[in-house]
Every structure is written in structure tokens, then in C-alpha cells.
Structure 1
């Protein structure tokens, strides 16, 4: 019995050791950031983490949520780049990083997006919050509601700027979640990736504010999609960045770095290790014709079948497409009309007999119904010809 318990204890230790080994070559202790995470942007899989659920002040990384809310309203058509807003006294009086807006001057949404994305301007952020929701409080409520919706369970926003507040806290994990959500839209990508630009401020628009992006990775990281920096004395230097190489998209977040050099170096280190060790194997791209299927009573006898998402699997970099199998299961006896937004089957991905994923399949286009008499006449004629 003692021997059995000793062996069991040894096995438990070995399992614990294996589980605690990093996913790849980075040791948590080697990072100088207080908190960090690296995830696959497509499915949210965590590739590396260091204290990623520790609540910390996020500084201006807060503005990722503001940009997300703006993007959602642009997607719905509620907001356009050309719309104008009037700057309040409160917005004009914000401290920290700013573009020195004057009270009661007018600006358009595009200028505000440039200022928020590139200079991380607090006055522009407050002006947009008031424009979108009527007040900063209304915007903060929307930010917290969205955080709950996304499952950001360790986040509490108190303001829209990231200026220090004792209860204004989030985590590297939650930041990665909202960064992933922002990737669904492309309304701010141009500004997040622009190195230099300018906006004119003041009631007479006579003061040029030159904007230089705070994210220096724009100039020296291959495949960068965007990022948001942050700094306060309480939060120290922070960064959330996204990059894509080939079909693989990764998100890296670091919080609590002592210098700006450390935050950029550690994000690059995380992204580099991720791209070196993992990849998305894409079997079919979103919208590509996969197979054809027959349909009864349609104006056409067959139609193209597509997926509304990439049919992919995220795996180690040494895996090949040939290691996997795909099975297409199409509903039987399909009858027109068919709606392109209603699933008509699934693509099922296997490896060594194990199901790894299922992807809904759809008609490429709506399939219209043929009149019954015309359908039978057409089929009769085809049979005669045959």
C-alpha cells in the first residue's frame, strides 16, 4: 500500500509538472511586466499567461472599449465619420494626453477617432462619450454593460479615459477579450495604424495639432493590425497589440511595465513566440465555394455551398492539412426556396477519428423556387433529350 501511494504521489507530481510547463519557450518569470497574456484571436485560446486575471489599472487601454462602442454604432449606421459634435466645457477641461479642444468648438467624428487612436486624447474621448450617450456616465454604463456581455468578469470602468480611479480596474485577460471583439470591425484600423497625421482645433480651426501614434510597433513589427498603449504612474506602461501573419492572428497584452521599451519588447517577444510555434490551418476560407449540392423545385438544379467563417483549426506549427479529414453533411431532400442565411448542413473536422470542430454550411446565394408546372416541363424535356 505504501509503495502504491508513493507511486501515485509521484505520478501526481509529474502530471502537475507537465501541466505547469509553459505552452512554449517563454517562462513567466522571464517577463518584466506584472501581467501578460497571448491568445489566438480567432477562438480565444490562451497560449501564454502571467497573472492574467490580476486586477490592475489599464490607463488608456480603457479606450479600446470606447472604440468598440463607436465601431458598433458606425456598423449600425447611427454614427458616421462626417457627423459633427460640439465640445463641452467638461471635455475641453480634461487633463492628461489631449489635443487641446476649446469649449463649444465643433469637430467631426473622424477627427475625434484620429485623436483617440493616435494620441490617446482624453478630451476627444470625453467629447465622443458625451456625443454617443449624452453624458460620460451614460457611456461608462454602456462600457460596463458591454464588458459583462463579453464575459469580462474582472473589469469595472469608472471613466472613459483611463485616468486614475481606485475602482477603475481590469485584467490582461479581459483586455484581450475586448481587443478580440474590436477586430470584428474595421472602422478604426486606419487610425490605429497611421504613424503621423494632424487635426485642426479651436473655434476658428486655426491651431494644428500634429498627431504621432503612441504605438511605435507600427514602424517595426511585421503584420501589425493595431494596438493601444497606456500609461499613468499607477498603471505604468501598458500595451495591447494585434498582429496577423498568413492566416494566423494573435493578440498580446502586457500591463505594469516599468519602461516603454519593456512593453514593446515583451509584446514582440510574445507575438514572435506565438507565430513561431502555432498556426491556423485554413481548409476553406469564409465565402469560398466548398462543394455543390442538389435542390428540388429550384430554378437551378444545384447550388454552391459555402461557410460564413473560415473552416480552420489552430494547432502547432508542425501540423499539416493532410493530417486532418473533413466530412460534409448536407441536409437530405433540400427543396427550394433556400435562404442563404439558413444553414443546410455542416463541415465536420476530424483528426485520428476525433471530432475537432463543426462549421455550419449555407447556400452561396438564395435559391428561388421554380413554378411547379414549369419545373415538371423542364424535367420532362431533359428526360426526353437524354
Structure 2
């Protein structure tokens, strides 16, 4: 859906044109999985699939939200906003409105708004459709309410909304990627300091493309698997006497293995080695270019499959097939337990590798995946 069509849908629901249209992208995490809430390093990039929100001002203090993906229209007074007062899909935009006040924004005099949301970011694929909603709404409300918050703060607003209103214990990576990204680049983010550096990726000059394999095995961060992994990481940090697993490096692995039970050790090992893989990926991109990062992507998937145990057979099959067909590197991406895999492939091999993945899924009796390429894109913006 384009900005003009979102505007038209808004007018159908509300009866007048919107004040403006804002959009924010989903993201692919190139490498650095589950490291964000451990205060580690991540390296995502925004994708050219976006969520759009049309917004108009109201004469009262009510927020009214409609969307293309649900027939439900939700209304709530600004003064009644709280994490417990929102639920379902509306918890994402309404949670953002609540969270703005938690970061010092004075909402006592702001007007109500009508919102209409549509998205081209696949839901449940691990491409952060949630952060795309949060970031577009946060940018829109910040502008029309005149709050003057930085994009870094808006990322924290989105994370708080997801943690408290949605109930998903996620880190800050997704919102940071959606708000801070530049075209043709990744966001190298230190999740402890929140320092972010935009790193050129160089995929197009190297004739490389990022192929997404959406397995259609849906995941939900608010359910138990994600929370259990976070709890294991926190338990490992406590047992090893550190504030977070960020404080450990490769040299600490022997002590961790000696002091932790096997499962907790493997969770900790994934985080320590994944942090190192992020640093190695950034360094390799700078020194050798994108064609040299494949082994790091491959190793990341093995670690998520075996140590963190967040892959599923469909993700493993997608990764193994892409590798066998000549991908530079491949890994699952996102929180795990379903979602999507990514493969860095030569442009002239995209169709052949996608076809091979489809054939492998059919042979295994799995639901047919959806395959498509994405390009590193710019972050949240006002479109109209």
C-alpha cells in the first residue's frame, strides 16, 4: 500500500484526509541474535518493506486506531492509557502512546488522534513487523504532539511498549534498526551504551542479494521460549558473578563450562560467541567486503541451532539448502522458534536457490515457504 492509498483508507474510516503519513521499515538482523538484551552487540539493517500510519488530529483526547489487518477499531482516552488497558494488535500503537509519557513527554494537553495502519512487513516472519508499527507511530506522535524526542529515545519508547504493553521481553535492536537505519547500510549497535554506527554493507557493488525464506512457522515473542532463553542468560550471568553476559568473552568459556550446568553453559556460550561474531563481521566487512562474511553467518546458525536451541526443522532445511546451492552464507534470523532464514547469495543465483528451497520443502512435506529479496533501506520517515 502506498502513502496515497493509506490516506484514502484513512479518509474512508474518518471522513477527512489525514494530517500526514509516516512509515517505518521492518528489519533483518544480519548477525547478533539474542545479544541485545544481554547488553551485547547487534548488526541489523532496515528492509524495503514498511509499515505506514496515516494520522489525523481530533478535537477530543481520544486515540482511535484502525488497521488494514483487523476489522476491529479500538478507542481509548489518552488519560486512560496504561499497559493493562491495551491488548491484542492495538497494544503496539497504543503502548507507544503510553510509553511516550514514561520518557518525560507531557501528554496532559495533547489532542487525540485518529490512526490508520497498514503494513507490508510479513507478520510472524522474524522481520520485526512489531517494531515497524511502533516506530512509525512513535515518529508520527512525536511530530504532531511536538514532543521533540530523539530517535534514540523513540527506540527506547518502542522497546518499553513491547516489553510492558505487549508483554514481550525483547531488547532494543529492532526499534533501533527501524529508526536509525540508512539505505545500503547496517546499524552496528552497542546495546549497553546504545552507541550506533552506520556501516556500509556493499552488497549491490559486490553483486550480492539478501534472500529471505519465510517458513510460515509463526513465532510469538510473548510466549515462553523467548522468555526462557532470557531467563537462562540472566541465571548464567548471576552464577558467573557479572552484571550481564556482555562482561564475558571467549577466554571466560572454560570457567563457564566448569561452573554452569550444561544447558545454561550452552546458552551462555552462544551469547559470548555471537557477540564476537558481530565484531568479526563488522571488521571483515571493512577489510575484505561482504563476500568474506559467509562463514560467520553459517557459524551463527549452528550456534542458534545447537547452543541456544531456537531453530526449527524448516529453518534448518532452508539454511542447509541455500548453503548447498552456493550461498555465501545463511542463518536463521530473528527471535527463533519459527520465522525466517536469510541467505547472502550472488544476484545471478537468487532464482535457482529460491527454487531449490521450495523443492526441498515440498520433498519434506512442509508448507511452502515464501521467498523474496530485500534491500537495506532507510529508517522511519514522514512520507506525506
Please say whether Structure 1 and Structure 2 have the same fold, judged by a TM-score greater than 0.5.
no
Q: Highest relative contact order (Cα 8 Å, sep 6+), 1 or 2?
A: 2
TM-score, normalising length from structure 1? Answer: 0.27
Structure (1/2) with the larger helix percentage:
2
Which of structures 1 and 2 has the bigger CA Rg?
1
